[in-house]
Amino acid sequence: MSELPRGWELVAFPDFVFFQEGPGLRKYQYRETGIPFLNIRTFDDETINKTLCGFLDPKEVEEKYQHFLVDEGDILVAISGSIGKMAIARLGDLPLMLNTSIMRFRSLYEDALLRRYIYFFLKSEHFFKQAEKAWTGTAQKNMGPSHIKTFKLLLPPLNEQRRIVAKLDRLFARSRRAREELGRVSGLVQRYKQAILAAAFRGDLTADWRKENADSLIANHFLIEAGIKPADEANLPSLPNGWCWVLAGNLCSIKSGVALGKKRSPGTGLLELPYLRVANVQRGWLDLNEIKTVLVTPKEAEALYLKAGDVLMNEGGDRDKLGRGWVWDGQIDNCIHQNHVFRLRLKTDKVSPHYISYFANEFGQKYFMDQGKQTTNLASISMSKLSKFPLPIAPPEEMKLILQLTEKLFENIDLMEQEHQQASKLLDRLEQATLSKAFRGELVPQDPNDEPAAVLLERIQSDRQAQPKGKAIKSKQSHR
């Protein structure tokens, strides 16, 4: 800052703040139970989720790591990867130990620097601008104690610190409540979409259309013309008038993809082609940010090339991947697919691939779990079971209308979610603007009767000179 507020001082960060990074633990030290230790994943909305902690042997902690035990009120900050991710240690979190890439902060002089003031400083751009200059690494940013030793701290008079902290606590409590309300929107969006799809495939969205078009309500005519046999509906749910069930294997040609790691004879003119894997095929969209390649023969390639309009569906994996998929639009030339991704190619252009994919995304997961192989965490479906996946087919005009109404409603919901995301970003900017105002000395009124920070510095310097040299600050925790 070119000019400090009246009574403030710019001081060396380590002169007022105690900070300590955790030790570099090794996997062989980990235990099933014992003293929990932190990692970045344990930070959840500035609280600690102890279910994600690892554990160390209590005896080893007592012998080697006592000084890394966390105290109540310690400000815990990630200094690698998600730099700045924070949590505050509560009494119920203890005992708890630091780990590498996690640093704790607290005031060296509670009568000169409030711990809560440090917390807000660590959230501010004044801290992050210094961190940006200090951190190393490109793929993953890192910062260590040697960097923080060079940082500067804005130090107001103690009474002004109290006013700043009180005002920031009130303002941040309001923004937290607003953020909690906004946080409910994502869940609501998902439930709204599920309700829309359920209504769409019950025929509710097009009930009025059917009343006005009773003469057009025969779905199986165009199927018969295309040589597609409707399913036996004896054991299937009832459908609206004019609809029929069709098995996926009758409506589509289904193809599994290339098996990775397969040995091929040398000199066969192998082609290196991009391929889609399970990670690329998300629920309702395709993630094409990272596309890998594989060597295949020309014959394999010819059978596996994707075409615009192909429906992609994951064979299995984690539970949340079952029935997951979307439509290929030809985004990448000469692209094929892995054997864990099925390709469904429709035998008639009167059924939209998006219509099929919407239904499979919403209702395929239950079918796959019921019909597929299931282990503790993994599930999969065979091509024969997928071929028997029943699909509700309406008359072509009605399917077009269902798709139009569904996508229009989704568009409105997505707009609401975009507004929610923008509001969340505005909250982030508002909080940073509030912090910037606080550390410019503009958030609360200044009192000319406050003891200036310079007087605090003089008193601290005098106390330091009176103390024995080399006195270290250690954890005050009683959980040894």
Per-residue pLDDT averaged across 433-447, rounded? Answer: 94
- The CA dihedral of 97, 39, 55, 377, to the nearest 10 degrees, is 160
- Nearest CA among 338, 333, 288, 290 for reference residue 314: 338
Six-digit token string for 355: 């219509």
**Single pTM value for the model:** 0.66
pLDDT at 355: 97
> What is the pairing mode between strands 152-155 and 9-12?
antiparallel
8 A C-beta contact, residue 75 and residue 479: no
The label of the residue with tokens 């300590």 reads 20
Six-digit token string for 309: 């309009």
8 A C-beta contact, residue 310 and residue 327: yes
d(CA 441, CA 161): 10
Q: Is the dihedral of CA 129, 133, 139, 144 positive or negative?
A: negative
In Å, how far are 188, 249, 345, 394, 399 from 227, measured between CA atoms? 42, 13, 15, 16, 19
The residue ranges of DSSP E strands in 163-307, in sequence order, are 244-247, 252-255, 271-276, 281-282, 285-286, 292-296
pLDDT at 217 over 80: no
Average pLDDT, the chain: 89
pLDDT at 183 over 90: no
- Count CB-CB contacts under 10 A for residue 336: 25
Superfamily of domain 218-394: DNA methylase specificity domains (3.90.220.20)
Per-residue pLDDT averaged across 223-249, rounded? Answer: 91
- Write down the domain spans for the chain: 9-156+453-466, 158-211+399-450, 218-394
Six-digit token string for 298: 């020309």
Under the banding of pLDDT at 50, 70 and 90, the label for residue 474 is very low
Contacts of 330 (CB under 8 A, 6+ apart): 306, 307, 308
CA angle 340, 344, 349 (to 5 degrees): 165
pLDDT at 418 over 90: no
Under the banding of pLDDT at 50, 70 and 90, the label for residue 267 is low
pLDDT at 387: 94
Per-residue pLDDT averaged across 70-76, rounded? Answer: 94
- The CA dihedral of 458, 461, 467, 470, to the nearest 10 degrees, is 170
The residue ranges of DSSP E strands in 262-388, in sequence order, are 271-276, 281-282, 285-286, 292-296, 311-314, 316-318, 325-327, 336-337, 341-346, 373-374, 378-380
pLDDT at 480: 32
pLDDT at 44 over 90: no
Under the banding of pLDDT at 50, 70 and 90, the label for residue 475 is very low
Q: Could you report the per-residue pLDDT of 296-350, keeping only the tens digit for each? A: 999 999 999 999 999 999 987 776 677 789 999 999 999 999 999 999 999 999 9
Same fold, 9-156+453-466 and 218-394: yes
Residues above pLDDT 70, as percent of the chain: 94
Q: Could you report the per-residue pLDDT of 100-139, keeping only the tens digit for each? A: 989 999 999 888 899 999 999 999 999 989 988 877 766 6
- Count CB-CB contacts under 10 A for residue 258: 20
Q: Which of 29-43, 58-72, 254-268, 275-289 has the lowest mean pLDDT?
A: 254-268
Between 12 and 373, residue with greater pLDDT: 12
CA angle 295, 301, 306 (to 5 degrees): 115
Superfamily of domain 9-156+453-466: DNA methylase specificity domains (3.90.220.20)
d(CA 130, CA 417): 34
> What is the pairing mode between strands 75-78 and 102-107?
antiparallel
